[in-house]
Amino acid sequence: MSETFIPLCVPELRGNELKYLTQCVDTNWVSYVGAFVSDFEQSMARFVGTKHAVATNSGTAALHIALLVAGVEPDDEVLVSDLTFIAPANAIRYCNAYPVFMDVTPDYWQMDAGKVAEFLERECRVESGRLVNRTSGRRVSAIVPVHILGHPVDIEPIVTVARRYGLRVIEDATEALGAEYHGRPVGSLADLACFSYNGNKIITTGGGGMITTDNEAWATRAKYLTTQARDHGEEYIHESVGYNYRLTNLQAAVGLAQMELLPEYVEIKRGIAARYAEAFAGVPGITLPGEAPWAKSTFWLYTLLVEDSTDASARRAINDALTRAKIQARPLWAPIHEQRPYRDCQAYRIEVTHDLYRRGLSLPCSVGLSETDQRRVAAAVRQAVSVAHTP
Ligand SMILES: *Cc1c(COP(=O)(O)O)cnc(C)c1O
């Protein structure tokens, strides 16, 4: 058994990364100022189809700033998906606002637009022009749909109901760069959107993020807040509390090279998903991830559901068997409303997220995954599933 380790999802640097980094080193432009930052921003704006893009040093920082720019204030409430990596909930708390957790749909596992509308209509009331949560008495000011695992949220009905009540919508598109909704790229579907270039995302800068928007005033405000809110060109005059959330020229150089590869990477990811779908077709005890007719998914993290008892023991046994075979797999996130920092926050009619957490398992799907390694993963999964389900 000398088989190599197959990681879940790792970077693939196969383009101009080193060439652009060398340019930074040769010219001494290695820090927060330099042409690669604006080139990378423009490249993202062009790809996503927004007028503006503002680079940040992480996706979480992008979310924090987007919420501030959207007008989220202390003691406000923000609706957010319950099934997600925890970052957007944390960003809401950085604004001293409170998340209200929303369920996802059982078909594509994304924020449930019907329940969002129902919550706003039944659980809130309009009070002197503000939408107020009847239970908490707090103002509801924004919605953060999270496009999880590379598949878009059915976002149009969410934007429509948000407009009716004067709420802002911020896409958490950190997991879905390259995905499309009715033929439109995610990141251009609401007021503002956030991206991440963490090492496990579809493209990486080592670490980094981006805010995209069509609104010039918001883009300007986002740049201002991410650069310590400096008001005066020459002198150090500040009217607001700012942040150092800047991306370096070195990171942006890698980002620009990765952007050149993005369309190809999306197709490679979709190819990996298609091969898994073929390998698992008709295998009892496995539910494949779906793709809505209105969606183009990147299948950023290829995730399937396994049959399980109520305690996730089968999913854990399958995961353990894969670990023994040197294959890295990973469960979905535990629902955020069950996590210690958020147990006291409101969660509205959550019926689906825990079940997906119990049964979900993400499989290796790096852009560089070879077909041989993928066959090894598929065989190990089929074997582990059949063992776990043998009474
Ligand atoms: C990756 C991710 C982020 C932010 O990531 P950073 O590591 O801060 O760049 C935010 N939200 C979700 C859903 C994510 O998966």
Q: How far apart are CA 78 and CA 55, in angstroms?
A: 23
- List % helix, strand, coil for the chain (3-state, nearest 5): 40, 20, 40
Q: How far apart are CA 208 and CA 245, in angstroms?
A: 9
By most ligand atoms within 8 Å of CB, the mutation choice from 57, 110, 196 for ligand 1 is 196
Q: Which atom of ligand 1 is nearest to the CA of 88?
A: 11
Per-residue pLDDT of the chain (391 residues; tens, 9 = 90+): 568 999 999 999 999 999 999 999 999 999 999 999 999 999 999 999 999 999 999 999 999 999 999 999 999 999 999 999 999 999 999 999 999 999 999 999 999 999 999 999 999 999 999 999 999 999 999 999 999 999 999 999 999 999 999 999 999 999 999 999 999 999 999 999 999 999 999 999 999 999 999 999 999 999 999 999 988 777 888 889 999 999 999 999 999 999 999 999 999 999 999 999 999 999 999 999 999 999 999 999 999 999 877 788 999 999 999 999 999 999 999 999 999 999 999 999 999 999 999 999 999 999 999 999 999 999 999 999 998 877 6
Q: Summarize pLDDT for 278-288 with one digit per residue, the tens.
A: 999 999 999 99
By most ligand atoms within 8 Å of CB, the mutation choice from 63, 64, 85 for ligand 1 is 85
Parallel, antiparallel or unpaired: strands 98-102 and 77-81: parallel
Question: How close is the Cα of 140 to the center of ligand 1, in Å?
Answer: 23
Q: How far apart are CA 116 and CA 104, in angstroms?
A: 10
Tokens representing 247?
């991306």
Does any ligand 1 atom lie closer than 6 A to the CB of residue 205?
A: no
Q: How far apart are CA 140 and CA 122, in angstroms?
A: 13
Does any ligand 1 atom lie closer than 6 A to the CB of residue 209?
A: yes
Q: Which atom of ligand 1 is nearest to the CA of 197?
A: 9
Among protein residues, the one with the nearest Cα to ligand 1's atom 11 is 87
Tokens representing 115?
């329940």
Tokens representing 221?
């405000």
Interhelix angle 371-388/249-280, rounded to 10 degrees, is: 50
Question: How close is the Cα of 209 to the center of ligand 1, in Å?
Answer: 9
Q: Which atom of ligand 1 is nearest to the CA of 58?
A: 9
Q: Which atom of ligand 1 is nearest to the CA of 194?
A: 10
Does any ligand 1 atom lie closer than 6 A to the CB of residue 187?
A: no
CA-based nearest residue to 134, from 122, 118, 116: 122
Q: Which atom of ligand 1 is nearest to the CA of 148?
A: 13
Question: How close is the Cα of 210 to the center of ligand 1, in Å?
Answer: 11
User: Residues 114, 158: contact at Cβ < 8 Å?
Assistant: no
Parallel, antiparallel or unpaired: strands 140-144 and 77-81: parallel
Among protein residues, the one with the nearest Cα to ligand 1's atom 13 is 85
Among protein residues, the one with the nearest Cα to ligand 1's atom 2 is 174
- Record the pTM: 0.97
